[in-house]
Amino acid sequence: MTAQTDSPGSVTAVYKVSGMSCGHCEGAVSGEISELPGVSSVKAVASTGEVTVVSAAPLDEEAVRAAVDEAGFELVGKA
CATH class, 3-78 region: alpha beta
Q: Give the span between the Cα atoms of 49 and 10, in whole angstroms.
A: 23
pLDDT tens-digit map of 19-45? 999 999 999 999 999 999 999 999 999
Domain boundaries, the chain: 3-78
At 40, the amino acid letter reads: S
Q: Give the span between the Cα atoms of 53 and 36, in whole angstroms.
A: 11
pLDDT tens-digit map of 47-68? 999 999 999 999 999 999 999 9
Using 50, 70 and 90 to split pLDDT, how confident is the model at 15? very high
What pTM was estimated for this model as a whole? 0.88
Q: Report the residue count for the chain.
A: 79
